Structure 1
Amino acid sequence: MGGKGWFLLKLLMFQGLFTSRLQDPGFDFFYFVLQWPGAYCDTKRACCYPTTGKPAADFGIHGLWPNYNDGSYPSNCDPDSEFDPAEISDLVSTMQTKWPTLSCPSNNGSKFWEHEWEKHGTCSESVMDQHKYFENTLALRDRVNLLQILQDAGINPDDEFYDLQDIKNAIKDGTGFTPVIHCNKDPEKNSQLHEIFFCVDTSGTEFIECPIIPRDRCPSKLQFAMF
């Protein structure tokens, strides 16, 4: 092969390598995590309502977390990509409703969002910038009305105990996707519905069945706390 042919071959190989790197986001899927405020607050640690007031009695966003298929995950991928509230100024009012903070001391949520961006969001920058990361996460929340799904199945936040499998079946029937359920404990050591995990593709826009299914961190019966 002549010099020109070798040049073209190397160019094609470089282009193919470059393209493959562009298509590789550096992780395998996202966990999209929602949390029930009643369970967050009903612990020995307790909670503080945000400065905007008590959140609605509804599932709020915890985060959108890149993960690997082997169960590990990247974190704090770009220390230079600091959270900038100005970049999401058009989303803040929606985030205060759908992604509220419950940590103490009472605050407006920006510390929570800063943590989520810097620990998890910076690991998805090959796919989306800061604004798109929060925008996509809010859009996912709009597509999953968990509280309505559970209530339609007769599962209500009334401090009663429900079967874990009934909760999973209701969510699977209502969304089309298998959830992973995490519990925490109230001061009386009752296990209560705390977090619900879904899996999302590497674009951060489409729900998928989880490539790995971690164990539910709940007993067979759990409490759905009031809020």
Structure 2
Amino acid sequence: MNLLLLFLAAMVVRATSQPTNPLPLPYDYYFVVFQWAKSVCNTGMYQCIKPTFPAFTLHGLWPQRYRFPPLDDCRLNLGYKKFINASNEDFWGRQYEKHGSCVDPFYSNQLTYFVTALRVATSTDLYGILQAAGILCGNPTTVGAVRTAIHASTGFWPTVQCNWSITGTLQLFQIYLCFNKITNVPMDCPRVQKGCIDPIDYPQP
């Protein structure tokens, strides 16, 4: 919670100084993406400097189209890199550069963009949802089980993404929740999974 408060405080200061995108591209809906931290740290690509904990962390809010190509990096030479060079803010800055820069005028500034993502993050306990459904970290599971558990709790179908650990194990990596871009209400995600073949690992923190 302290991290969320820090995040909001930083964004309040910077939202007024960052330019809005004068040429936004159309998109159809948006993802709020959560990642399982252990599945980031055990791939060999990144090294986590702190122990991971049993929770899905917020990765970002990503505007999406129903058809390819993917929608990202809409900066068009705008000054989105004016962020303090600290680890958290650097990550938040990259998220806005790549994804937030693509939202339409519905998001009038960075603060609106980040608060929308945080609203979902603070009201959604994916770890608790899976645990209540008997899906426990350290045990193998399936895409269908994960999606069914989340659908039973929220009423909407998510997208499940997998990746490979450094030991060659296919594992639960990210969960995408989909939302209507105008009303912000949840909706079924149009895609079932990304890169998954059952069974998948759900690694211990």
Q: TM-score, with normalisation over the residues of structure 1?
A: 0.71
Tell me what 2:59 maps to: 62
Cα displacement string for residues 198-221 of structure 1 (whole angstroms, at most 9, x for unaligned residues): 2111137321123x3254321111
Question: How many residues are paired up?
Answer: 179
CA–CA distance in structure 2, aligned partners of residues 147 and 207 of structure 1: 18
d(CA) in 2 for partners of 1:67 and 1:112?
Answer: 20
The answer for the alignment partner of 1:181 in structure 2 is 160
Work out whether residues 83 and 90 of structure 2, in 8 Å CA contact, stay in contact via their aligned partners in 1. no
CA distance in 2, matches of 1:71, 1:207: 22
Contact 1:25 1:126 in 2 (8 A): no
Structure 1 alignment gaps of length 5 or more: 1-23, 87-106
CA–CA distance in structure 2, aligned partners of residues 85 and 39 of structure 1: 27
Percent of residue pairs identical: 26
Q: Do 1:136 and 1:204's aligned partners in 2 also have CA atoms closer than 8 Å?
A: no
1:155 aligned residue: 135
Q: CA deviation at 1:149?
A: 0.3
Structure 1 contact 66–73 (Cα < 8 Å) conserved? no
Q: Which runs of 5+ in 2 are unaligned?
A: 1-23
1:139 alignment partner, SS class: helix
| Match of residue 28 from structure 1 | 28
1:29–1:200 contact (8 Å) kept in structure 2: yes
State the 1:176 CA deviation. Answer: 1.1
**How many Å separate the matches in 2 of 1:166 and 1:214?**
12
AA of the residue aligned to 2:121: R
Would the aligned equivalents of 1:161 and 1:222 in 2 still touch at CA under 8 Å? yes
**In structure 2, what is the Cα distance between the partners aligned to 1:180 and 1:42?**
22
Q: Deviations over 1:87-124 (max 9, x none)?
A: xxxxxxxxxxxxxxxxxxxx631121111001110111
> Where do residues 1-227 of structure 1 align in structure 2 (5 Å cutoff)?
26-49=26-49, 54=51, 56-78=53-75, 79-83=77-81, 85=83, 108-128=87-107, 129-158=109-138, 160-203=139-182, 205-210=184-189, 212-213=190-191, 215-227=193-205
1:226/1:66 Cα in 2 relative to 1: closer, same or farther (>3 Å)? same
Structure 1 residue 168, shift from structure 2 partner: 1.4
- SS in structure 1 of the partner of residue 40 of structure 2: helix
The one-letter amino acid of 1:140's match is V
Worse-superposed segment, 146-155 or 65-74: 65-74
Bigger radius of gyration: 1
Q: What RMSD, in angstroms, separates the aligned Cα atoms of the two structures?
A: 2.2
Q: In structure 1, what is the Cα distance between the partners aligned to 2:58 and 2:137?
A: 17
SS in structure 1 at match of 2:177: strand
Deviations 1:17-68 (A, max 9, x none): xxxxxxx97211112111000111111224233xxx5454210111111111
1:151-195 Cα distance to aligned partner (Å, 9 max, x none): 00111112x211221111111111111111111111221111000
Q: Which has the higher helix share?
A: 1
Q: 1:203 to 1:85 in 2, by over 3 A?
A: farther
